[in-house]
Amino acid sequence: VRLVESGGGTVQSGGSLRLSCELSGGSSVDYCMGWFRQSPGKEREEIGTSDPDDSPTYADSMRGRFTVSRDNAKNTLFLQMNSLTPEDTAMYYCARGPMGRWCSYMSGAASFVTWGQGTQVTVSS
């Protein structure tokens, strides 16, 4: 199973980006999928997760500007990011949890099994 993120880049403060995470060699059906980010010198933080029925859950600090969605037919997870600020500059990762475990039973990044390589997002002021 392989996860590949795309859509990162450099954007001006206030701008938007949409990230994609394509899964190959397996399925996203029956799996909790999630987006995380990590800045240099900081711990990896959760942005939001998506249950197999495409119902999202967000970390409190991420609520409002970020939208997680998925297309199971295409094995793809999306992250729409709006009103970006320089503080959003980070490497963004997608991940897949264990089969059959819904997101409400996950305990942060350590619960996710498969990770992508990440895509860099840089927000300039």
Q: Which amino acid is at 18?
A: R
pLDDT of residue 110: 94
pLDDT of residue 58: 95
- d(C-alpha 4, C-alpha 74), whole Å: 13
Q: Give the dihedral sign, CA 116/124/57/105.
A: positive
* Rounded mean pLDDT for each run of 10 residues along the chain, 125 residues in total: 98 98 92 96 96 92 94 96 97 96 92 97 97
pLDDT of residue 57: 95
pLDDT of residue 97: 96
pLDDT of residue 112: 97
